[in-house]
Amino acid sequence: MRHERIVIIGAGPAGVSAAIQCQRLGVSPCLLDRDGQAGGLIGNAWRIENLAGVTPCDGPAMAGRFQESLARFNLAVERAVVERVGHASTGLLVEGSMGLIAAGAVILAPGTRPLSLDMPGISGATTRVFFEVRDLLRHGARPNSVLVIGGGEAACDYALSLAAVGASVTVVMRSGSPRACRRLVDAVAGTPAITVCAKTTPRTYAEGPASATLEVDTPEGEACLRAEGILIAIGRVSRVPDLLDLDFGSARTTEILPFPGAPLFIAGDARHGGLGQLAMALGDGVAAATRAVATIT
Ligand SMILES: Cc1cc2nc3c(=O)[nH]c(=O)nc-3n(C[C@H](O)[C@H](O)[C@H](O)COP(=O)(O)OP(=O)(O)OC[C@H]3O[C@@H](n4cnc5c(N)ncnc54)[C@H](O)[C@@H]3O)c2cc1C
């Protein structure tokens, strides 16, 4: 079995910042990510402008900066999908596509997974439904039309990214107006390619060879919306419960910890849920790494 002093799960902002801090403190970490590269969710962002002292840029550029930061510290991301973290006789056992790793300490920074719509047609095999804008844009040619479902920050952000690449975007939301920061709401309102359908509830989904169809209830009655793709942004939840062995019981997953009796530390959106921000993830990474290194040395 492979042995590592510290295993970091996830190479988003929290995992990258934890890896750099471990390296600076003299412990070379094993950094695992299912994507095999750094950046995580932030690679989707339309414009990142809320980091004091950092020149604003878009998500792909920020993800590239994280990759460069790792390289400066001689760190690399190992592509692996982690399935479970459990107790070992000493330390912890990390199990996944890379096999078994016995770890002195684990920093869990796997972020969040998206919530889906509980609606006929959406749960089967779909090729036109996406949960992140970069997956939609990776999928093939730039779409001419997209329905974005959701009324929060991510939905607004995704709509702006899609409009910026020439798509005509319809944002479908149950609420009467977007629930996002003023900067995003104003940007959406000022973008002619974005139409907001407020007080609108999706009912059924179907897809054909050329388009996706969403039947919705609007204040004026039933309507049918069509587009080349659908992007669902109705919320995200921590991936931590999916990864932890049951014997961690009901331990809280919202603190950097450590868990009682286990050298396990949680950082970033995995801890904050869908309300996380980049700066919080970066700070968490540093804090978790500092504690993890102190635990094993
Ligand atoms: C559209 C959008 C725009 C945003 N814009 C901003 C902004 O302008 N400013 C701001 O401050 N914040 C913004 N955010 C929030 C920011 O992206 C997150 O707070 C931040 O990315 C959280 O970092 P993280 O490392 O905790 O998690 P993530 O970025 O989600 O990274 C988690 C990583 O873990 C990996 N992973 C997950 N499960 C496994 C597994 N089982 N095995 C191996 N690897 C795994 C994933 O591949 C991923 O790389 C935005 C978010 C979105 C969706």
Instruction: Give the chain as a 3 state SS string.
Output: CEEEEEEEECCCHHHHHHHHHHHHCCCCCEEEECCCCCCHHHHHCCCECCCCCCCCECHHHHHHHHHHHHHHCCCCCEECCEEEEEECCCCEEEEECCEEEEEEEEEECCCEEECCCCCCCCCCCCCCEECCHHHHHHCCCCCCEEEEECCCHHHHHHHHHHHHCCCEEEEECCCCCCCCCHHHHHHHHCCCCEEEECCCEEEEEEECCCCEEEEEEECCEEEEEEECEEEECCCEEECHHHHECHHHCCCCCCCCCCECCECEEECCHHHHHHHCCHHHHHHHHHHHHHHHHHHHC
Length of the chain counted residue by residue? 297
Residues enclosing ligand 1, CB less than 6 A?
9-15, 32-35, 40-42, 44-45, 48, 50, 81-82, 109-112, 154, 157-158, 239, 268-270, 276-279, 281
Res 262: pLDDT: 78
Give the residue from 211, 133, 216, 140 showing the smallest Cα distance to 172.
216
pLDDT digits (tens, 9 = 90+) for 228-258: 999 999 999 999 888 987 555 555 555 555 5
pTM here is: 0.95
- HSE-CB for 91 with a 13 A CA cutoff: 19
Q: 272 C-alpha to center of ligand 1: Å? A: 11
In which residue ranges of the chain is pLDDT below 70?
Answer: 125, 139-141, 246-261
At residue 125, the pLDDT reads: 66
d(Cα 152, Cα 180) in Å, to the nearest integer?
5
Predicted pLDDT at 261 = 66
> 278 near 13, Cβ under 8 Å?
yes
Ligand 1 atom having least distance to the Cα of 277: 19
Residue 14 alpha carbon, nearest atom of ligand 1: 25
Q: From 220, 157, 141, 224, select the one nearest 194 (Cα to Cα).
A: 157
Give residue 154's pLDDT: 97
pLDDT at 257: 53
The model's pLDDT over 214-224, given as tens digits with 9 standing for 90+, comes to 999 999 999 99
Ligand 1: which residue has its CA nearest to atom 4? 45
Cβ atoms < 10 Å from Cβ of 135: 13
Closest listed residue to residue 10, CA positions, set 42, 28, 37: 37
Distance CA 35, CA 81 (A): 8
Please report the pLDDT score of residue 255 as a whole number: 55
Q: How far is the CA of 66 from the centre of ligand 1 (A)?
A: 12
- Token pair, residue 135, equals 């997956």
**How many CB atoms within 10 Å of residue 11?**
31
110 Cα–ligand 1 center, Å:
8
* Number of Cβ atoms within 10 Å of the Cβ of 261: 9
| Residue 66 confidence (pLDDT) | 98
Pick the atom of ligand 1 nearest to 49's CA.
8
pLDDT of residue 139: 64
Tell me the C-alpha distance between 215 and 211, whole Å: 13
Report the alpha-carbon distance of residue 290 to residue 150 in Å, rounded: 37
